[in-house]
Every structure is written in structure tokens, then in C-alpha cells.
Amino acid sequence: MTVRAAVILMLAMQVAVAAGVLTMLAGNAWAVAVLAAGGSFAGTVAFARSVIG
């Protein structure tokens, strides 16, 4: 795994965890939090791949 890939995956994981936790704290079910985290993970990977070098 390259450093670029590791940075992108680490950033995406952090954003996904934050989105999942915030979704849970908002009072939603676990399933909704997991779906929000998955969507934010995919979006962050797509965005970071285009921005990071």
C-alpha cells in the first residue's frame, strides 16, 4: 500500500466514524448510522483521490 492510499483511507475512516457517531447522537438507529458512515466513507475517498496528488 502506498503512502497516498494509506492517507486517503485513514482520512476517509476518520470522517466515516465521525459521521456515524454524530448520526447516533442525533437519535437515529444503528442502521441509519452505518449507512451514513458508509456514504461518507465513499464520498471522502472519491474527493480525496481527486485532491491528493
Instruction: Look at residue 48 in the predicted model and tell me its pLDDT.
Output: 96
pTM: 0.90
Q: Closest Cα to residue 52, out of 17, 10, 21, 19?
A: 10
Ranges of the chain whose pLDDT falls below 70: none
Q: Closest Cα to residue 37, out of 7, 51, 12, 17?
A: 17
- Grid cell listed for 23: 448520526
Instruction: Look at residue 53 in the predicted model and tell me its pLDDT.
Output: 76
- Tracing cell 491528493 back to the chain, one arrives at 52
